[in-house]
A and B are shown apart, each in its own frame.
Chain A
Amino acid sequence: NAGVTQTPKFQVLKTGQSMTLQCAQDMNHEYMSWYRQDPGMGLRLIHYSVGAGITDQGEVPNGYNVSRSTTEDFPLRLLSAAPSQTSVYFCASSYVSGQPQHFGDGTRLSIL
């Protein structure tokens, strides 16, 4: 039972590049979400999904896209990376909508 798996663990991008952060869970949870964590600001919700085919915006969605084609996977796409997107990104899942229970170990992203 792997829980929530995020890949890659580390990534360095140049401004303007695009990339996809992967997130997979094996607990059959309907609710999945993406957060970014910045010093002194806690975790902020980027996008979330209440089930396959359904996604919605969180507090800080600009510059990010998501899709949910299966229950297991919830990738986060950076369309055109900017230095302000340097952060640690966490994916989470739960069976209770809106209350993340299980987090991945994060992707540390640096935009130069």
Chain B
Amino acid sequence: TQLLEQSPQFLSIQEGENLTVYCNSSSVFSSLQWYRQEPGEGPVLLVTVVTGGEVKKLKRLTFQFGDARKDSSLHITAAQPGDTGLYLCAGVDNYGQNFVFGPGTRLSVLP
């Protein structure tokens, strides 16, 4: 059983569409991180959310941390082919000591 679940597992959309991907857990997290990973490369840190209810924006990407700090979402507006990649959420829960990753959402944006 994964501590962090991500949905959907795969997503294929057309350029210009909007999308939301989700990261959920039954545990409370002190913070959550979102990464994007492209084929053949390591993950790249996009954002860290710390406070319940927090919303952070990075150009066309909007990240939200749930009020109870058990879930997070990533919304992309007007997706572009350059947004294609594997989106990973990760964090340390309030009880554990290890930094854990979700399995990821693989996004494909078609031109």
List residues of chain A with CB under 8 Å of any chain B CB. 4, 33, 35, 40-45, 58-59, 90, 92, 98-106
Contacts and interface: CB of A to CB of B under 8 A. Distances in A.
A103 B40 CA distance: 12
Contact of B99 (A90, A99, A104, A106): A99
B94 interface: no
B42 A103 contact: yes
Contacts of A42: 2, 4, 88, 90, 100-104
A58 B98 contact: yes
B45 interface: yes
A67 to B, nearest CB: 20
Interface of B: 2, 4, 31, 33, 40-45, 48, 88, 90, 92, 97-104
Contacts, number: 51
A6 B42 CA distance: 11
Contacts of A101: 45
Contact of A4 (B2, B42, B101): B42
Contacts of B104: 42
Contact of A104 (B2, B33, B42, B102): B42
Q: Name the residue in A44, A98, A102, A106 with the highest tally of chain B Cβ atoms < 10 Å from its Cβ.
A: A98
A49 to B, nearest CB: 13
B99 A45 contact: yes
A112 B45 CA distance: 33
B42 A90 contact: yes
A43 B43 contact: yes
18 contacts: A40-B103, A42-B88, A42-B100, A43-B88, A44-B101, A45-B98, A45-B100, A90-B42, A90-B43, A92-B42, A98-B99, A99-B31, A99-B33, A100-B43, A100-B45, A100-B99, A101-B45, A103-B42
